Amino acid sequence: WTPENGRNNALRINGLGAPRAFYTPLLRKIKIPNVSYGEDYAVGLALSRNYQIGRIYTPIYLCRRWEGNSDASLDINRTNHHNTYKDRIRTFEVLARQKLNRTNG
């Protein structure tokens, strides 16, 4: 997660993990998908297009999973559905970054 390549690392992983925190004025400027899964990842990718993001590697709290959590003990069809959605998010983000690179020359 170097300053030069952190934004691209975000495209290679399947989520940004928790906790996530977004700067509210920037958050209000982007479109947030109205879905029940992966919207935080889409927001993180969109913000990382123009701003540096980082990752905390040291645990800062304990968490537990509970039945019904969005990614706990999913069947293969649901897992594939979630992965397909995140693949689409990444595709849209790559296209947006390519367009930005063409514009900025």
Calculated CA dihedral for residues 74, 68, 57, 28, nearest 10 degrees: 110
- Secondary structure of the chain: what % helix, strand, coil (to 5)? 50, 0, 50
Angle of helix 39-48 versus helix 76-104 axis, rounded to 10: 20
* C-alpha to C-alpha distance for 18 and 71, rounded to whole angstroms: 13
Check pLDDT > 70 for residue 70: no
Check pLDDT > 80 for residue 105: no
Check pLDDT > 80 for residue 13: yes
* Mean pLDDT of the chain, nearest integer: 87
Query: Does the global pTM surpass 0.85?
Result: no
- Please report the pLDDT score of residue 93 as a whole number: 96
Mean pLDDT of 1-10: 83
* C-alpha to C-alpha distance for 18 and 55, rounded to whole angstroms: 10
